[in-house]
Amino acid sequence: MFKEQTSSFYQTLQAFSEKYDQLIENTIQSINSADDHVYKTIVSKFRIGDEFSYEDMIKIAREGAIRYSEQIPPGYEDDEKIGLQKYGDLFFWKQVLKYAKSNPKYSIILVTNDTKEDWFEKDKKTPRFELLKEFNSLTKKAYGCCHSRILFF
């Protein structure tokens, strides 16, 4: 009797597992085939930068470890994150710098809802001096103007 119950339970579990796997696969297919108007609009109106390679991410993370230990912005206040996630703000910042440097005729507007002191001065209105200095030094662009959570370069 125990053997029969175990066999029956195993068959039920197997059927459930197959049904669950199919449900996941169907959901993935549905998401991938959905007509995402927001994404299409973003892609049609804005240029999306290239991803960093894994090797580049490791180099940036090494730099980030030094920057964060010295509280050099951005991102050093994100210490609750782990692994490469910890350096997300720095990856983003490096992408902005890379784009600005490779497109010298364009101005840069950076909009963020991050108001921590690893992006903005204590007054929450001006970007950290280190960010302005780094941007100007690498891109040779003059700092323009700023408004709370919006940086103009």
- Domain hosting residue 74, numbered range: 45-152
Q: Which of 71-85, 114-128, 131-145 has the highest mean pLDDT?
A: 71-85
Same domain (yes/no): 101, 49: yes
Summarised one tens digit per residue, pLDDT across range 74-106 is 989 887 888 899 999 999 999 989 988 888 787
Binned at pLDDT 50, 70 and 90, residue 145 comes out as low
71 secondary structure, DSSP code: T
Quick one: tokens of 45?
Answer: 């109106």
Average pLDDT, integer, range 108-123: 81
Same domain (yes/no): 30, 49: no
For residue 77, tell me if it sits in a domain: yes
Same domain (yes/no): 98, 53: yes
Angle, CA 85 vertex, CA 79 and CA 87 arms, to 5°: 70
Same domain (yes/no): 24, 79: no
Note the Cα 110 to chain centre separation in Å.
14
State the total domains in the chain. Answer: 2
Binned at pLDDT 50, 70 and 90, residue 128 comes out as confident
Same domain (yes/no): 99, 133: yes
Same domain (yes/no): 22, 77: no
Provide the whole-model pTM: 0.66
Strands (E), 36-144: 109-111
Same domain (yes/no): 86, 26: no
Is 151 in a helix, a strand, or coil? strand
Binned at pLDDT 50, 70 and 90, residue 144 comes out as low
For residue 40, tell me if it sits in a domain: no
